Amino acid sequence: MKRRVRLLHADGHDLLLRGVEAMLADRPSLRLMGSCKSGRQALSLISTIKPDVAILDFALPDLNAVEVISALSRLSPKTAVLIYTESGSQQVVSAALSAGARGFVLKSDPADCLLAAIDALASGRSYFAPAIAEIVLERVLYPETSQRTGRLTRQEKEVVRYVALGQLNRQIAAHLKLSVKTVETHRSQAMQKLRTPTTTDLVRWAIRNNLVTA
């Protein structure tokens, strides 16, 4: 008889913990070994349980998913990490993948995506929800992109956000209490750093990185 896949789930929200627990209970091939609400608790349980797959929210209390993953190479190197979280921004996805996560699913995705991801990781494969696939592909084709996106200053990000909202330079200047010339400079520098040659490209970047919603 095939061994059941051993799972651990960590999320700071009780409702999510109970919901996932109920969903997994209907799958005889899966066995939820433990659940918890913080990064430190996750590390403690993982070191004891040694699950096949750890399902982690990215923004766990105490320690975030990146910090948890970093410790797993020592505590439970065979545990595959699946990020199950709200934000699909390029920064979050890149941080998780760089740390060693093998799967990424958004909480807004259908339940079938989470189950498919668990099955994939348990079989030694990776899994990325459709909304995440484009970011993963960009990392492969343009590995320098994640480095560029982290270099924007706070004001450059604010200018980009207002541009994506359809504001003109003079309107942005009024919002941020800057001169129009300064706004133009921030906008130009942001486009150079991100290598977004057009305003349309800049807006797409802002949407993809959750500066605004589509």
Q: Are residues 119 and 156 in the same domain?
A: no
Backbone φ and ψ of 67, nearest 5°: -65, -35
Q: Are residues 118 and 202 in the same domain?
A: no
Domain boundary among 92, 120, 141: 141
Q: Are residues 136 and 157 in the same domain?
A: no
148-179 pLDDT, tens digit each = 555 788 899 899 999 988 899 999 999 999 99
> Quick check: 34 and 11 in contact, CB under 8 A?
no
Nearby residues of 84 by Cβ (< 8 Å), 6 or more positions away: 9, 11, 20, 55, 56, 57, 105, 106, 107, 114, 117
Q: Of residues 36 and 135, which shows the higher confidence score? A: 36
Backbone φ and ψ of 114, nearest 5°: -65, -45
Q: Are residues 190 and 169 in the same domain?
A: yes
Q: Are residues 37 and 90 in the same domain?
A: yes
- The token pair at 123 is 């079989």
d(CA 206, CA 49): 40
Q: Are residues 132 and 155 in the same domain?
A: no
Residue type at position 63 = L
Q: Is residue 146 part of a domain?
A: no
114-151 pLDDT, tens digit each = 999 999 999 999 999 888 877 776 665 555 555 555 57
DSSP H stretches of helix in the chain? 14-25, 39-49, 65-75, 90-99, 111-122, 130-141, 145-149, 154-164, 169-176, 180-194, 199-208
Is the pLDDT confidence value at 84 over 80? yes
Q: Is residue 213 part of a domain?
A: no
Please name every residue paired with 36 in a beta bridge, in sequence order, or none if there are none. Answer: 10
Determine the average pLDDT of the residues in 86-109: 86
Residue 93 belongs to domain spanning: 5-141
Determine the average pLDDT of the residues in 31-58: 95
Q: Are residues 39 and 93 in the same domain?
A: yes
Q: Are residues 62 and 129 in the same domain?
A: yes
Which CATH number do you get for residue 166? 1.10.10.10
d(CA 110, CA 27): 16
DSSP conformation class of 61: S
Q: Is residue 91 part of a domain?
A: yes
Q: Are residues 92 and 155 in the same domain?
A: no
Which CATH number do you get for residue 131? 3.40.50.2300
Q: How confident is residue 213, by pLDDT bands cut at 50, 70 and 90?
A: low
Mark 189-198 as b/e (b = at least 16 C-beta within 10 Å).
bbbebbebee
Angle at 125 between CA 73 and CA 43, to 5 degrees: 30
DSSP conformation class of 195: T
Nearby residues of 15 by Cβ (< 8 Å), 6 or more positions away: none
Of 139, 114, 142, whose CA–CA distance to 53 is shortest? Answer: 114
Domain boundary among 109, 141, 173: 141
* Tokens 């706070």, residue located: 154
Of 81, 53, 49, whose CA–CA distance to 67 is shortest? Answer: 81
Q: Are residues 21 and 91 in the same domain?
A: yes
Q: Are residues 14 and 80 in the same domain?
A: yes
Q: Is residue 214 part of a domain?
A: no
Q: Is residue 12 part of a domain?
A: yes
User: How many separate domains does the chain show?
Assistant: 2
Q: Are residues 131 and 159 in the same domain?
A: no
